[in-house]
Amino acid sequence: LAGGEDFTEDYYSYTGRDATTLVPVLGTQLASYVLSDGVIPDAATLVSGNLDPQYQDEYIVGYEKRLDSGWKFGVDFTYRNLKAVMEDADIDYTGACDYLLAEGTISTCGSFGGSGYVLINPGKDLVVKLGDSFGADAGKTVTVPADALGFPQAKRRYQAVTFNFERLWDGKWYAGGSLTMSRSVGNIEGGVKSDNGQDDTGLTQDFDEPGWTDGSYGLLPNHHGYNLKLYGSYQFNEKLRGGFNANILSPRKYGCIGAYPLGDGRASPATITAWYCNGELTPRGKSFSGDWINKLDLNLTYEQPIPVGTIKVTADVFNVFNAQGAEQYDEVGMTSVTTSSSNYGQPLYYQNPRYVRIGLKYEF
């Protein structure tokens, strides 16, 4: 955010594709935007002066019982609560300027930070130095209360109960497994954003503009109410050993992402990242559910001692029943305020199909 980044966007009319390379042929240039001109700005204009580091509280309580028969059983409870998060926010879309003008702190309004963006703790006051666009008021350090900014506090809470068991290896067989029942809810996933695939930590579209936070509180992309795992191995004889690994994962919940339709200045209608579709609020995780993801893997290992070392032949069968659950669906329901997306609700990624892997290893 505080570096000398060059960031421009150019828009052209589409006239077709090259017959040989299939590369799009660009027509007339429609628009050009400079989002960052490469000049290194004063960090005090880009980062709120009262910024706290990102952190969460975590509590884990568990109990485990080991039996003389070789079995082990346990249960644990996990609680995580996000306390602070750092996110870039476009202050130009907030009520900051109106507040400062009403207070008499500034005489004219300008653009905050880098093209409006300042690194903040959502839900806290903003303390920032004004840049050159504020004219005679440039260089002033101002405070804007959280209420005037209009961002909610960042929230993320994870609660889970896990029941687990294990039958210790006795030279013949081993087994184990767990069942996790959990709930992950909030208005921010974390430093990244699975909804749109953003992996630029702390610079996602979350909290960019106040209107985009409407409906953002709900079941997060990493929420899966149930997660069952079973695994084990069996020694058939001194040379042949087999094993399995099974997993059943309950569906992810989806909302509907579209353009901000209200026209009240709290968000741009041009970027498709608001929890609105067809003019209606469509909260995170409330529109439809994905697929159950079921998977069973099997493996065999054959060991043959030789005069110098051991030869191992392995065979792994992944996704034995060739389950074809969709691991992710398209959550974007609108391409503009008034235009629906035909891809909404369509699968983006499926489970890997059944496949076999054969291995040969020589140990000496």
User: What pLDDT digit, counting tens, does each position of 155-191 carry?
Assistant: 999 999 999 999 999 999 999 999 999 999 999 998 8
In a domain, 233, yes or no: yes
Task: Taking residues 216-238, report their average pLDDT.
Answer: 97
User: First vs last Cα of the chain: how many Å apart?
Assistant: 53
Q: Is residue 171 part of a domain?
A: no
Contact 350, 327 (CB under 8 A): yes
Split into its structural domains, the chain has a count of 2
Q: With respect to residue 196, please indicate whether it lies within any of the assigned structural domains.
A: no
Cα separation, 290 vs 185, in Å, equals 17
Instruction: Look at residue 162 and tell me if it is in a domain.
Output: no
Q: What is the pTM of this model?
A: 0.85
CA dist 250 and 238 (Å) reads: 39
Quick check: is 56 in a domain? no
Domain-embedded: residue 112: no
**Would you say 185 and 219 are in contact if contact means Cβ atoms under 8 Å apart?**
yes
Answer whether residue 97 is part of any domain: no
How confident is the model at residue 174, as a pLDDT? 98
Domain that holds residue 275: 211-364
In contact, 220 and 189? CB cutoff 8 Å: yes
Residue 2 has pLDDT above 60, yes or no: no
The verdict on residue 22 lying in a domain is yes
The distance of Cα 349 from the centroid of its chain, to the nearest Å, equals 16
